[in-house]
């Protein structure tokens, strides 16, 4: 399968716990994006990487959130001290860094904080 | 703050009906307009990327138009089928590359 994959697909955690999600992009794509979608909203941009460099972060990304892409391949998104408001679908996408940057999405990780 | 609006929020049609949705977006700093189709439990699927004013694109029974001067795009589905049921998202892309999405139009097609 050469698409974008995300793991896990579902995560249920208790408030205050830390969670980490993983995204594996399409192998030749050097850009990787994280989005968050809450009920009734479209996906909202969180951050993106070009290779291993994190180039932009949204104001939505509070200091409890951290993202890494250590070797310019897979990426992780960690949420520390989860809150109920963090419950959402977390989507990852990848693209080339040229042309219209057409983004290919993974299936998402559904996070539920109880 | 850049705002992307989609209408209607939801749409229920009978199989065989044709339908269309609207996406409005800022006309300044425009780079591209993306349409995605998102079925439950699947990845959002790219339908079209449009960059030029007056662009028209077609994929099977689905087509889209773009007006960058007035900041809108239409998505048309001809002869809707139950398998077209999904949420249709449009996204504005500025020069940075990240996408700003609308809330989507949820389409339900009844057999």
| Tens-binned pLDDT, residue by residue, of chain A (114 aa) | 579 999 999 999 999 999 999 999 999 899 999 999 999 899 999 999 999 999 888 888 889 999 999 988 999 999 999 999 999 999 999 998 877 678 999 999 999 999
Which residues in chain A touch residue B89, judged by CB atoms under 8 angstroms apart? 42-43
Q: Which residue of A has its CA nearest to B97?
A: A101
CB contact under 8 A, A42 and B101: yes
State the DSSP code for A106: -
State phi, psi for B83 to the nearest 5 degrees.
Answer: -70, -10
Cβ neighbours of A101 (radius 10 Å): 24
Contact A21, A36 (CB under 8 A): no
* DSSP annotation string for B58-78: EETTEEEEEETTTTEEEEEES
pLDDT beyond 80 at B16: yes
Which residues in chain B touch residue A95, judged by CB atoms under 8 angstroms apart? 97
Residue A109, token pair as written in the block: 């990780």
Residue A93, token pair as written in the block: 């996408």
Looking at the complex, report in whole angstroms how far the Cα of residue A23 sits from the nearest Cα belonging to chain B: 13
List residues of A whose CB lies inside 8 A of any B CB: 3-4, 31, 33, 35, 40-45, 48, 56, 91, 95, 97, 100-108
pLDDT beyond 70 at B33: yes
Contact A66, A75 (CB under 8 A): no
pLDDT at B95: 75
Which residues in chain B touch residue A8, judged by CB atoms under 8 angstroms apart? none
* Residue B1 binned pLDDT confidence (cut-offs 50, 70, 90): low
CB contact under 8 A, B44 and A91: yes
pLDDT at A1: 54
A108 contact partners, CB below 8 Å, separation of at least 6? A6, A9, A37, A89, A90, A91, A92, B43
């Amino acid at each position: 399968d050469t698409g974008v994959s995300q793991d896990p697909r579902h995560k249920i955690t208790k408030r205050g716990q830390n969670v980490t999600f993983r995204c594996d992009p399409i192998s030749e794509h050097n850009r990787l994006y994280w989005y968050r979608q809450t009920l009734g909203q479209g996906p909202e941009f969180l951050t993106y990487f070009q290779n291993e460099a994190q180039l932009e972060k949204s104001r939505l990304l509070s200091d409890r959130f951290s993202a890494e892409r250590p070797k310019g391949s897979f990426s992780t998104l960690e949420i520390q001290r989860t809150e109920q408001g963090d419950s959402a679908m977390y989507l990852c996408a990848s693209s080339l860094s040229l042309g219209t940057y057409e983004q290919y999405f993974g299936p998402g990780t559904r996070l539920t904080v109880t | 703050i850049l705002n992307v609006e989609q209408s209607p929020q939801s749409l229920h049609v009978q199989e065989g009906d044709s339908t269309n949705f609207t996406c409005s977006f800022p006309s300044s700093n425009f780079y591209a307009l993306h349409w995605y189709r998102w079925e439950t439990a699947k990845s959002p699927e790219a339908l079209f990327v449009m960059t030029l004013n007056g662009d028209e694109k077609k994929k099977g029974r689905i087509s889209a138009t773009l007006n960058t001067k007035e900041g809108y795009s239409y998505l048309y589905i001809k002869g809707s089928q139950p398998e077209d049921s999904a949420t249709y998202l449009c996204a504005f892309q500025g020069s940075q590359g990240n996408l700003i999405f609308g809330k989507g139009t949820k389409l339900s097609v009844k057999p």
